[in-house]
């Protein structure tokens, strides 16, 4: 197959390429085959052309008609303007025939009237009460709906650069010419004597620029399926959208005219002179001011109606004369605008007639031209030479008409207003009386609640005092029993070893909570020492203000009492280990293979005492990170095969329990580190990495 052939996508037959064609028709099966080309390739030929249907005379006529438009355009616009540029040329464009299918869903609302019971105030005699009545409201029943919309429509886009960035967007006229104009197969003879702009935008770029317009068109077609009284929740997808492309030469006409020192552009679609895009015409400010000044007498009268109604009450009769004044002002404004338009229309007819021979005009056209050379007669309401008399007189009438009716109706209005004011004042006094009674009742209720709270607080203080006294008695009895037992133990040890023994108490003081200003707690460490050993037996926690909080037995997880080298080295660590703002305590228990183990007690705020924590007491080399709120364990581990490992573990408090969430184990023999982390409630390996040669 050579470069000038292409395979049919339907039957597989060979199709010969034809220059200038965007698609090839298979001679065997009739299928249309699109010629594939690079996305950024530029077209070099036109398939169809919309011939220029606007002559130069039509172009001038359209420009003069535009000059004569507008409400406050200067009357000499046509006479004082000069056309300095006339252009008619062809520009490149792509026409796209879109074949689509859209699947849509929506909710359609159907309104219905629903009765319900409401209440209104009714006054009969001297009694006002609430009366039930049946009212109606509109209720919308929403029903889901879905469907498929398919069809074919055309869009077009400008594919050159000459009209890009030009004000008034004349490129939009190109799309109108392609879609609405009468196109024919391209023939170079149509472009003879006209400039033809070449393609400077690829098909893909033009199609991409039309995505918004295509989406809007499909949206409008989808929403044409709307039913019911209202709709909402429109959604649609486009599973299929194909398009056929045609290259066009589209006609554009351009006129530039000068008025005074400014230039104005008029762009005209080359297929239809009625379709234009042009610069905004200048406004004669004196004419606009002259037309609007007739409105101020009526406006002044309306202001007087509002002001007098505020002081004396409103009467409908006060709107009559100000309304007449406003009506006169609007009629006068409309008459002045129509008179100005008639002058410009007459000048337009004269201008057009000067460009056309009388022999080409019918008798009716000749009569119209003859009338155009006569200045139009000024309408009655456009006669402004007496404005200095008419407008002030009309203002006086409007002011008097707005004030007098309201003033004359004041006695009746005052009586109604005074009665309404008395009724409102009476209702307000009754409402204030009820509000005062409610406030008094609320105050009495608050005082009763405060007394009940004080009684409960006093009862609670009594119970706490009784509990503290009972604890102190129990602690004293326990202390006496322990002292007696210690004396016997010491005597027994003295008898067995023949060496000096004895016990002593060491005191520490610390705040109960992490705030240093909180109440203090005194810890008494009772230790026993002989010539060979020193160990802590008990820790007694007492409130500095009085009362024993707890008597703690200082046994580590090994079952033995916490050891110390001597009484001078006794250590009590006070810190918040469960991060509840209450200080906890720990002392060194014993030293094992993994490191030092502490005996840990956590403060229980609900029971106001310290409780032993087996979880923290089993962690070697325990450290507390208050900033990150976690507990760290570090330990050296060796097994029977002399495999040495180092492990760091991190714990958090979750619902009052200690939970492991990260762990790193370094195996010195394998030269690797394994990291495990908590995921979905289980510890899983998240990373394994090799260690350097210097790891010991």
Residue pLDDT, tens place only, 19-28: 445 566 777 7
Mean per-residue pLDDT, 235-240? 94
Reduce the DSSP state of residue 203 to 3 states and report it.
helix
Q: How far apart are the first and last CA of the chain?
A: 73
Say what the pLDDT of residue 482 is.
61
pLDDT 10s digits, 562-576:
666 555 566 788 888
The answer to whether the beta carbons of residues 175 and 138 sit under 8 Å apart is no
Say what the pLDDT of residue 686 is.
84
Mean per-residue pLDDT, 268-291? 90
pLDDT of residue 146 exceeding 90, the answer is yes
pLDDT of residue 614 exceeding 50, the answer is yes
pLDDT 10s digits, 68-103:
888 889 988 888 899 999 999 999 999 999 999 999
- Using CA atoms, how far apart are residues 539 and 142, in angstroms rounded to an integer? 74
The answer to whether the beta carbons of residues 277 and 254 sit under 8 Å apart is no
pLDDT of residue 335 exceeding 90, the answer is no
Say what the pLDDT of residue 487 is.
45
pLDDT of residue 441 exceeding 50, the answer is yes
DSSP state of 148: E
- Using CA atoms, how far apart are residues 268 and 62, in angstroms rounded to an integer? 8
Q: Which residues of 129-151 are buried (b: 16+ CB within 10 A; e: fewer)?
A: eeeeeeeeeeeeeeeebeeebee
Reduce the DSSP state of residue 645 to 3 states and report it.
strand
Confidence at 647, pLDDT banded by 50, 70, 90: confident
Question: Which parts of 462-595 are beta strand (E)?
Answer: 502-511, 520-529, 534-543, 548-553, 562-563, 573-575, 584-591
Confidence at 338, pLDDT banded by 50, 70, 90: confident
Say what the pLDDT of residue 565 is.
58
**Quick one: 114 exposed, middle or buried, by C-beta within 10 A (0-12, 13-18, 19+)?**
exposed
pLDDT of residue 372 exceeding 70, the answer is no
Confidence at 110, pLDDT banded by 50, 70, 90: very high
Sequence-separated contacts (24+) of 368-371 with Cβ below 8 Å: 371/346
> Highest mean pLDDT: which of 198-212, 299-313, 481-495?
198-212
| Residue in 206, 187, 209 with CA at minimum distance from that of residue 196 | 187
Confidence at 409, pLDDT banded by 50, 70, 90: confident
Q: How many CB atoms lie within 10 A of CB 451?
A: 10
Report CA-CA distances (Å) from 197 to 89, 179, 247, 648. Answer: 8, 19, 13, 77
**Strands 14-16 and 5-7, how do they pair?**
antiparallel
Report CA-CA distances (Å) from 394 to 180, 292, 297, 307. Answer: 54, 15, 6, 19
Report CA-CA distances (Å) from 86 to 67, 469, 522, 602. Answer: 16, 113, 105, 97
Confidence at 412, pLDDT banded by 50, 70, 90: low
pLDDT of residue 681 exceeding 80, the answer is yes
Lowest mean pLDDT among 226-235, 377-386, 446-455: 377-386
Taking the model in full, what pTM does it have? 0.51
Mean per-residue pLDDT, 487-512? 58
Q: Does 434 or 234 have the greater pLDDT score? A: 234
How many residues are present in the chain? 696
Say what the pLDDT of residue 640 is.
54
Residues forming beta bridges with residue 647, ordered by sequence position: 635, 665
């Amino acid at each position: 197959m050579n470069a000038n052939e292409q395979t049919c996508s339907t039957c597989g037959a060979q199709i010969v390429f034809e220059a200038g064609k965007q698609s090839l028709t298979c001679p065997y099966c009739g299928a249309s085959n699109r010629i594939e080309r690079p996305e950024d390739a530029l077209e070099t030929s036109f398939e169809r052309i919309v011939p220029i249907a606007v002559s130069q005379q039509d172009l001038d006529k359209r420009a003069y008609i535009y000059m004569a438009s507008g409400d406050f355009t200067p009357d000499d616009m046509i006479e004082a303007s000069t056309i300095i540029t006339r252009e008619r040329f062809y520009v490149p464009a792509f026409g796209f025939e879109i074949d689509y299918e859209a699947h849509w869903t929506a909710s359609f609302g159907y309104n219905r009237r629903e009765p319900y019971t409401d209440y209104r105030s009714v006054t009969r005699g001297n009694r006002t009460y609430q009366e039930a009545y049946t009212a109606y409201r509109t209720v919308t029943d929403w029903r889901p709906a879905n469907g498929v919309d398919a069809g074919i429509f055309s869009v077009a886009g400008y594919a050159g650069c000459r009209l890009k960035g030009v004000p008034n967007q004349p490129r939009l006229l190109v799309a109108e010419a392609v879609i609405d104009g009468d196109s024919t197969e391209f023939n170079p003879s149509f472009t003879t004597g006209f400039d033809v702009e070449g393609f400077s935008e690829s098909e893909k770029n033009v199609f991409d620029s039309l995505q918004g317009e295509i989406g809007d068109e499909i949206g409008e077609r989808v929403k044409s399926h709307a039913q019911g009284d209202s709709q909402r929740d429109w959604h649609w997808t486009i599973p299929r959208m194909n398009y056929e492309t045609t290259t066009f030469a589209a006609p554009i006409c351009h006129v530039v005219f000068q008025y005074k020192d400014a230039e104005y552009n008029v762009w005209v679609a080359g297929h239809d002179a009625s379709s234009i895009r042009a610069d905004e015409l200048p406004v004669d400010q004196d004419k606009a001011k002259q037309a609007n000044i007739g409105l101020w007498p009526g406006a002044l009268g309306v202001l007087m109606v509002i002001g007098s109604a505020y002081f004396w009450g409103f009467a409908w009769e006060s709107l009559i004369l100000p309304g007449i004044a406003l009506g006169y002002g609007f009629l006068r404004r409309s008459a002045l605008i129509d008179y100005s338009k008639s002058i410009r229309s007459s000048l337009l007819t004269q201008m057009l007639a000067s460009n056309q021979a009388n022999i080409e005009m019918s008798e009716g056209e000749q009569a119209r031209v003859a009338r155009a050379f006569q200045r139009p007669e000024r309408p009655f309401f456009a006669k402004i030479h007496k404005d200095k008399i008419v407008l002030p007189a009309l203002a006086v009438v409007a002011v008097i008409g707005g004030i007098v009716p309201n003033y004359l109706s004041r006695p009746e209005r005052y009586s109604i207003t005074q009665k309404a004011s008395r009724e409102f004042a009476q209702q307000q006094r009754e409402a204030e009386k009820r509000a005062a009674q409610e406030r008094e009742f609320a105050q009495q209720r608050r005082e009763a609640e405060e007394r009940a709270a004080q009684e409960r607080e006093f009862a609670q203080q009594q119970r706490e005092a009784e509990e503290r006294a009972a604890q102190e008695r129990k602690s004293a009895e326990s202390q006496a029993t322990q002292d007696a037992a210690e004396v016997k133990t010491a005597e027994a040890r003295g008898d067995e070893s023949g060496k000096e023994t004895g016990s002593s108490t060491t005191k520490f003081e610390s705040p109960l909570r992490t705030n240093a200003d909180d109440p203090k707690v005194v810890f008494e460490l009772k230790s026993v020492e002989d010539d060979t050993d020193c160990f802590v037996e008990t820790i007694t926690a007492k409130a500095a203000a009085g009362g024993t909080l707890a008597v703690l037995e200082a046994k580590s997880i090994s079952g033995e009492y916490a050891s110390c080298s001597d009484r001078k080295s006794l250590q009590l660590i006070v810190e918040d280990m469960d991060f509840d703002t209450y200080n906890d305590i720990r002392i060194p228990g014993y030293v094992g293979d993994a490191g030092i183990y502490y005996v840990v007690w956590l403060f229980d705020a609900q029971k106001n005492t310290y409780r032993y924590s087996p979880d923290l007491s089993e962690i070697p080399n325990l450290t507390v990170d208050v900033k990150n709120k976690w507990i760290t364990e570090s330990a050296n581990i060796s097994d029977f095969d002399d495999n040495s490992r180092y492990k760091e573990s991190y714990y958090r408090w979750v619902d009052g329990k200690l939970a492991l969430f990260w762990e790193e184990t370094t195996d010195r023999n394998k030269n690797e580190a394994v990291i495990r982390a908590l995921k979905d409630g289980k510890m899983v390996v998240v990373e394994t990495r090799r260690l350097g040669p210097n790891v010991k």
